[in-house]
A and B are shown apart, each in its own frame.
Chain A
Amino acid sequence: MTTSDVARQGDQNAQPLSLSGHVGFDSLPHQLVNKSTCQGFCFNILCIGETGIGKSTLMDTLFNTNFENFESSHFEPKVKLRAQTYDLQESNVRLKLTIVNTVGFGDQLNKDMSYQHVVDYIDTQFESYLQEELKIKRSLHNYHDSRIHACLYFIAPSGHSLKSLDLVTMKKLDSKVNIIPVIAKADTISKTELHKFKIKIMSELVSNGVQIYQFPTDDETVSKINTAMNGILPFAVVGSTEEVKIGNKMVKARQYPWGVVQVENENHCDFVKLREMLICVNMEDLREQTHTRHYELYRRCKLEEMGFTDTNPESKPVSLQETYEAKRQEFLGELQHREEEMRQMFVQRVKEKETELKEAERELQGKFEQLKRLHSEEKNKLDEKRRSLEDEMNTFSKKKAATELLQGQSFTANANLKKDKDRKNSGFM
């Protein structure tokens, strides 16, 4: 009996104790399972592949149902992701399945950014989980987990090697999601070609450092089958929702003039193996890996990015509260600083404008000073003119008065003279 993880960590001071009877806590796993079953399970699959490669058909075949499929065109300007959630039930087990399909993958002329939208989508799901986890009042046990648990990467059945888009995309995704590469439309490759193709793919993946999902081999109940399956990767699959009569049974198959490809025939393709591995044996492990490995990596990177550490510069452990506190102070300080800056800027502007206006005022004053001066000059001139006129007039009137006086005198004199003369004259006669 191998030691459980708990036993290994609790080892410090736990004494093993033997029980003298049946206590009954071997029902614990049952209790746990019952609870989970009551709550229902949740699984999210992402399918990446070129348009028309058979993603939707495979999903339909895998889950034995008809999901709503939109036929996409080859002319999508950008890669989009379309997610659909379904409630499925098999015996007493309820599964909330979300299928995310890429639309337009590999169709653009420039495929540089193809993978970016996929990466962004995966990160967004991690982010919303992280946000929920960091909330003060949170309800994680009710949270609908939208993180991608498995990514089926559809490889085109060229028979030669992986496309560079495939390598680039898988390399970007291997640290974020469990990648399960599948060879699509495997009914177009012969057995020998297929064997060579698989080897080529795996070696290319290894040489490019792409880490695809490995079925876990540490649990002895499933290690044998998982190890075997790891050697058959990538699975070559065929999907079909149409049924053909073989013998006296209706089986899912594709009818060709030269024969019938049976989906569930393990000689024809690896479909059954894929279903076995993905759903029957390792679904829970896929979820666990997503949570404990990929999500933790995302979380660690995100928190470090935001400046959180586990130890402060003196290498003493720092609690999250202290970090929050510090961050918060920093943050508030930053805000205040910005406010101050803006105020300062305004004060500056006001000063500048004031100086400007003062300048204008001064100019205006200057202008009017000048005008005033001109005016007073004018006035002075006018006054002078007036004065000279007055002088003239005075002179004139003096002259006139003098002349008139003279004239008056002379006139009077003349008059007297004349009078005298006249008297004289009159006297003479």
Chain B
Amino acid sequence: MICTLSKPAQQKLLEGYVGFANLPNQVYRKSVKRGFEFTLMVVGESGLGKSTLINSLFLTDLYSPEYPGPSHRIKKTVQVEQSKVLVKEGGVQLLLTIVDTPGFGDAVDNSNCWQPVIDYIDSKFEDYLNSESRVNRRQMPDNRVHCCLYFIAPSGHGLKPLDIEFMKRLHEKVNIIPLIAKADTMTPEECQQFKKQIMREITEHKIKIYEFPETDDEEENKIVKKIKDRLPLAVVGSNTIIVVNEKRVRGRQYPWGVAEVENGEHCDFTILRNMLIRTHMQDLKDVTNNVHYENYRSRKLAAVTYNGADNNKNKGAMTKFDTSDGMSPLAQMEEERRDHVAKMKKMEMEMEQVFEMKVKEKIQKLKDSEQELQRRHEQMKKNLEAQHKELEEKRRQHEEEKNSWEAQQRVLEQQKLDSSRTLEKNKKKKIF
């Protein structure tokens, strides 16, 4: 490595002014220039006051007589509709997208009425994933759903099966903030009971609603704890302004009094607004980006690489994709390549070994048969030689015998000759 590895970060004290304390201001400046985006989804049965609440939250007429809210639009199936508005406040621009779900829970058979919602959220994740994955990336508009306000009907008796089903299916895709709608139909005690019941059921079904993050700040933590105690928030919305004690307030006029929207003792609306807009909007976006989106992404990409692996012999068995600790697909391919090279090397070595061994065997066999043949040849040669020798011996004997016999014969002959000569002589003598 060209670069010498640094030691872990060391703490250094500054002896004077440097100036990076100004960094936050720089970040502030840039963020204002960039502008902000936020997508809010509202889900709930018709008539729960969703549109009124949105209007109250943003102090505007998002839904007006000309553009009626979802409850006025009766649909056969659940629709998912979005409306984008650009709002400015204090130099800060916000592109706000409100996503409606008219028809949710309104049918007789509501099984699967959450599917369009899931599809919508996933499609936004998909869009973001695709634009993030392009080679040429431009600005990536963030249309992902950052928060889902789920409206619970104020029955006073706990969650409906639809509520539970919906939240169970969506809690890992989006930040869910459950709200008790039309809270002015319950007394504070009834409300308390209802809230407790709901929270119990939420815990029982292991539903993960949006959690407020802990901070290092003591003060903030106290506020956060207060909010947590009042979950789910019970809200009231209103489009009308009423004068109460010479103050103009948003509220609902009853014969017995006015339920004020922004009165903390009447309902939790202010808490919701503060939390949603003034303190935790950024966190909602961060959780969407760092948790929900990342979950979607890793599941999507793991499916891709797993599909590729289906051609491998490791079908069904635990491949390392299952246990891989989130390597990038490219790095995975690299590792696979390396593994393959190692495997090939091993295979090569093995083949080589087998080859060598077989060759050795064959050569040995050849040698052996050569030796064998050689041996036999030697033996035969020896045999022949022995026979030769034997034959020689025999011949010699025969020669000897022959010679001696011949000699004998010659002697005999001689004798015979001599004797016949003597006989002759005697004969001759005798005659005389």
Contact = CB atoms under 8 A, between A and B. Distances in A.
Nearest to A321: B304
Given A219-B33, A368-B373, A16 B86 contact: yes
Interface in A341-393: 342, 346, 349-350, 353, 357, 360-361, 364, 368, 371-372, 375, 378-379, 382, 385-386, 389, 392-393
B137 interface: yes
A121 interface: yes
Interface stretch (B157-165, B168-176, B201-209, B325-333): B325-333
Given A131-B330, A357-B362, A93 B20 contact: yes
B141 interface: yes
Given A16-B86, A32-B282, A95 B23 contact: yes
A36 interface: yes
Interface in B39-63: 57-60, 62
Contacts of A10: 37, 84, 86, 95, 141
A279 B137 contact: no
B139 interface: yes
A3 B93 contact: yes
Contact of B135 (A21, A117, A303): A303
B109 interface: no
A67 B391 contact: no
Interface string A85-108: 111111111011010100000000
A91 B344 contact: no
A400 B35 CA distance: 143
B327 A135 contact: yes
A396 B391 contact: no
Interface string A280-320: 11111100100000001001100110101110000000011
A24 interface: yes
B366 A221 contact: no
Interface string B278-298: 111111001001100010011
Contact of B373 (A7, A296, A328, A364): A364
A308 B135 contact: yes
Contacts of B328: 131-136, 138
B26 interface: yes
Given A26-B90, A219-B29, A84 B216 contact: no
Contacts of B33: 2, 4-5, 219
B245 interface: no
A87 B84 contact: no
A26 B92 CA distance: 5
Contact of B28 (A21, A33, A357): A33
Contacts of B264: none
Contacts of A68: 10
B414 interface: no
Residue among A17, A124, A331, A357 having the largest count of chain B Cβ atoms under 10 Å: A17
B314 interface: no
A82 B3 contact: yes
A217 to B, nearest CB: 13
Interface in B375-432: 377, 380-381, 384, 387-388, 391, 394-395, 398, 401-402, 405, 409, 412
Interface of B: 2-24, 26-38, 57-60, 62, 84-95, 129-130, 133-137, 139, 141, 215-216, 273-274, 277-283, 286, 289-290, 294, 297-298, 300-302, 304-305, 307-308, 311-312, 324-331, 333, 336-337, 340, 344, 347-348, 351, 355, 358-359, 362-363, 366, 369-370, 373, 377, 380-381, 384, 387-388, 391, 394-395, 398, 401-402, 405, 409, 412
Interface of A: 1-7, 9-10, 12-33, 35-38, 41, 43, 62-68, 78-93, 95-96, 98, 100, 117, 120-121, 124, 131-139, 141, 219, 221-222, 275-276, 279-285, 288, 296, 299-300, 303-304, 306, 308-310, 319-321, 324-325, 327-329, 331-332, 335, 338-339, 342, 346, 349-350, 353, 357, 360-361, 364, 368, 371-372, 375, 378-379, 382, 385-386, 389, 392-393, 396, 400, 403, 407
15 contacts: A10-B95, A24-B273, A36-B27, A43-B20, A65-B15, A67-B12, A86-B11, A117-B2, A133-B328, A221-B29, A284-B29, A338-B340, A371-B373, A375-B384, A396-B398
Q: 8 shortest A-B CB distances, which residue pairs?
A: A137-B326, A4-B35, A6-B35, A26-B90, A134-B328, A320-B133, A328-B308, A284-B26
